[in-house]
Amino acid sequence: MNNSILVIDDEEIMREILETLLTREGYDVRLASTASEGLDLVRSMPFDAAIVDVMLPGMDGISALDELKKIDDDLPVLMITAFASVENAIAAMKRGAYDYITKPFKNDEVLVVLRNALAQRRLVAENKALRQNLQAHVNRFGDIIGRSPRMRQVFDLIIQAAPSRTTILINGESGTGKELIARALHQNSSRADRAFITVNSGNLPPDLLESNLFGHVKGAFTGAVYPKKGLFELADKGTIFFDEIGNIPVDTQAKLLRVIQEREFMRLGGVETIKVDVRIVAATNVDLRRMVEEGKFREDLYYRLHVITVELPPLRDRKDDIPLLVQHFLDKYAAENNKPGLELSPEALDLLFDYDWPGNVRELENAIERAVVLSTNARIDADLVPDHVRSSKRFQMPQFVVPPEGISFREVITDFEKRLIESTLEAAGGVQKRAAELLHIKPTTLNEMIKRHDIRPRRKKAANGAGASRPGGASPDVEDDEEVVGADRE
């Protein structure tokens, strides 16, 4: 569908020029000679952008801008005037104009500004759609954000499994949001108004862990001067979540198994059996089946936990969710830092898509929080994306076509190796040490390859602008972070 553009100008020749220019570019153009005529058109049909002359009969262009914004606040408006005054430009921009062009103008200038305005319009519309989509996904599952097929499967499983008392095991890498899934299971169950207690399984020594879980009686051990209830008692009628359950010592695993099977336990040092009704949800980022084979995890406990399993996908396997997650974190940290209306540029979003996020959603959240804190404009551009994300642009193997007469394997490999080194040096800003890290090779190895391929070094420019290359084209010291290698010599 072609973008619709409104032109409001009292000069017939100017309207004809703009109509011809924009129609030739494929735009659907509507013309008005007065502000009131243009406003009537905007009220009767949607427009994607407007071009308005500042000097109009009756209502002037600045006043028309105000009225256009009342009808459609997101409508980008370009102001055109024959009077190239800074005062008019400032007034128009302060009142919401997208940009300002003076007569006589160049056709290319108008087209470039208009394309940018339409791109911003699309970005605003996409952000609104994302926010609406976000609200539809947040209301039932708390802060779990997702619309990808993999996450829909997770949501369906939560809906089915939450009402039961069945023990659930959540498998997922670090940073995927396993505790959020556990909370969603609790909140969508009949236990939602009771306690949800998290146990960090690997942070405590065995004795202290058992004391926390089961409680103790007075005198159970040195320092036990008072009886204490354990987390299982506190979680009665609620849910207890074991984060990284694979870290629980084997002796404690036996006592946990009894709670699952018999719904009872004894406090440390006690003889009284305590009955509890607790739903157990466990999470792990390791292969418990392998731990069973290695004798590090009880097989009977494994099968008790493995009744219903939620497989939480890593972020690299659900890239479709990145825009929703980005918008959620933008809104969250923009509010915390009093920076409303922040948007991510398409270039920055592309970089986020190209990265594989080994730290998963938690790493993405940290990246967005950093960008929000460091941002000085409403638009977050690619320069605020962390360096390691920007420098890890996904590698794509070039396509080779082998001619009928064949091809020299050695020549192809040599040429490819040289181009790979040059591209990596460019991505590393010319710093050999960083380039070696990106290629996962030693700096000395990279240095030898640079010599072999005759990739000429050059120094960064000094403060006075003078460049200094090494005499004789000698290879630079690989440990010198100021050494820059590039194909273009000064």
Instruction: Please write the tens of the pLDDT for every residue from 313-324.
Output: 999 999 989 998
Architecture of the CATH domain 149-311? 3-Layer(aba) Sandwich (3.40)
Does 368 score more than 90 pLDDT?
yes
CA count, 13 A, side-chain hemisphere, 291: 21
Q: What is the mean pLDDT of residues 435-440?
A: 85
Pairing of strands 457-459, 483-485: antiparallel
> What share of the chain in percent tops pLDDT 70?
86
| pLDDT tens column, 74-120 | 899 998 877 656 577 677 778 888 888 877 888 888 898 898 889 88
State both tokens at 43: 């009220």
pTM tops 0.85, yes or no: no
Query: What is the rounded distance in angstroms from the CA atom of residue 211 to the CA atom of residue 204?
Result: 10
Does 266 score more than 70 pLDDT?
yes
Does 263 score more than 60 pLDDT?
yes
**Predicted local confidence at residue 227, as pLDDT:** 86
Residue range(s) of every CATH 1.10.8.60 domain in the chain:
317-390
Residue range(s) of every CATH 3.40.50.300 domain in the chain:
149-311
State both tokens at 283: 């999470």
User: What is the pLDDT of the chain when averaged over all its residues?
Assistant: 83
Render 43-98 in DSSP notation, one character per residue.
Answer: HHS--SEEEEESS-SSS-HHHHHHHHHHH-TT--EEEEES---HHHHHHHHHTT-S
| Per-residue pLDDT band at 4 (split at 50, 70, 90) | very high
Query: What is the rounded distance in angstroms from the CA atom of residue 474 to the CA atom of residue 246?
Result: 55
Q: Which CATH superfamily is domain 409-485 in?
A: Homeodomain-like (1.10.10.60)
Does 403 score more than 80 pLDDT?
no
State both tokens at 303: 């099968």
Q: Where are the alpha helices (DSSP H) in 375-479?
A: 387-390, 409-427, 432-439, 443-452
Q: Is 362 exposed, middle or buried (0-12, 13-18, 19+ CB in 10 A)?
A: middle
**CATH number, span 4-126:** 3.40.50.2300
Residue range(s) of every CATH 3.40.50.2300 domain in the chain:
4-126
**Predicted local confidence at residue 292, as pLDDT:** 94
Does 370 score more than 90 pLDDT?
yes
User: Which residues, listed in sequence order, are joined to residue 118 by a DSSP beta bridge?
Assistant: none
Does 372 score more than 50 pLDDT?
yes
At the top level of CATH, which class does the domain 317-390 belong to? mainly alpha
Of the listed ranges 161-175, 350-364, 458-472, the one predicted with least confidence: 458-472
Q: What is the mean pLDDT of residues 47-69?
A: 90
Q: Write down the residue that tokens 């519309």 correspond to.
A: 125
Q: Nearest-CA neighbor of 141 among 126, 123, 127, 154?
A: 154
103 three-class SS: coil
Q: Write down the residue that tokens 């009342």 correspond to.
A: 70
